[in-house]
Amino acid sequence: MSYYTDDLHSLSHTKWNCKYHIVFAPKYRRKEFYDARRLEIGKILRQLCEWKGVNIIEAEVCKDHIHMLVEIPPKMSISGFMG
CATH number at residue 44: 3.30.70.1290
Average pLDDT of every residue of the chain:
87
> Can you give the pTM of this predicted structure?
0.78
- CB 37 within 8 Å of CB 27: no
- Number of folded domains in the chain? 1
Residue 68 vs residue 9, higher pLDDT:
68
Q: Which domain holds residue 64?
A: 2-82
36 has pLDDT over 70: yes
With bands split at pLDDT 50, 70 and 90, how would you rate the model's confidence at 59?
very high
63 Cβ neighbours under 8 A, 6+ residues apart? 31, 32, 33, 34
pLDDT at 83: 81
Residue-level pLDDT at 2? 45
